[in-house]
Amino acid sequence: MAQIREIKKRMVAVSTIQRITKTMQMIATAKFTSSLQRAKATRPYTDKIRELVAQVAANSSDDLDDPLINGVRNAPDRELVLVVSSDRGLCGAYNSHVLRVASKHLASLNKSGTEYELQIVGKKAAGYFTFAGTPIAEQYIFGDKPDFEPVAEVAESFITRFNAGEFSAVRVVYMKFIATSKQEPEVMQLLPMSIEDVVDQDADSPAAGHGVSYEFSPSVEQILSELLPRAVKTSLYQAINDAIVSEQVMRMIAMKAATDNASGLGRTLKRDFNRARQGKITTELTEIVSGAAALE
């Protein structure tokens, strides 16, 4: 009888867990849908402004001397690293993948003798690096629905400090959203902006000009002075949005797997409960029949 009661308690506990994980899956699905819409809405603008920067820089007749592209001269060998993690857990291997790539990147900086300043987004990275004994210079929390203004302020501070020569590079470690079934941790170079890849990508596009020379008014330097900071801000905002989409889709998948596992365990426990109950009934019937036979 004690075994039957124990199985019954486990069945109730598993059923409760299944309801919780099912609810969390539904919430993650709703958040994933809304965050995916935001990421898709901002992606064309981000890609287009980077394309414009590449086109203007490629059609410049003179060598550009903008620190946001070429870097700051005589800047120290020092790097600012921003790690984007989540505030909550239960999202599968999302945080472990990002933190593993971030730790590997920091280890490579230590090995090469490059100094760095670590800044983070999310509570999970804060707990991880605090436990590891890695100093954290700044921590940001943007939430599940980040506004552009707070992210732009952070990017503006990066630009100001980079132009002042405090860093030779600014990199962002985050989970890049590629598709619902594919997310990859990436180390993105935010500053100085690398436009060679964009130029190569757009070399065959109609907007590339195919070697056509343009005259700019105002000058290329003035146009880039407006476009480059905006491109940096939108690139960081897009990275934050991609990270949030990846977090929600991985949480949705993790909660679905947990719900399925709880359902399978519930069926197993129910089978064991029925067997134990049937065995108990069989034992009692055997005792009754044996007792009746003894009285004859």
pLDDT at site 78: 92
Residues paired with residue 138 on neighbouring β-strands, in sequence order: 119
Enumerate residue ranges in the chain where pLDDT < 50. Answer: 198-210
pLDDT at site 212: 57
Instruction: Domain ranges for the chain, please list them.
Output: 26-207+214-252
DSSP state of 207: G
pLDDT at site 210: 46
* pTM of this prediction exceeds 0.85: no
pLDDT at site 201: 46
Q: Let me know how long the chain is.
A: 296
The CATH fold assigned to 26-207+214-252 is Pyruvate Kinase; Chain: A, domain 1 (3.40.1380)
pLDDT at site 209: 46
- Both tokens of residue 263? 């359902």
CA-to-CA distance for 159 and 146, rounded, in angstroms?
20
pLDDT at site 55: 79
CA-to-CA distance for 275 and 85, rounded, in angstroms?
47
Question: For the chain, how big is the Rg over CA atoms in Å?
Answer: 29
> CA torsion 158→149→31→141, rounded to 10°?
50
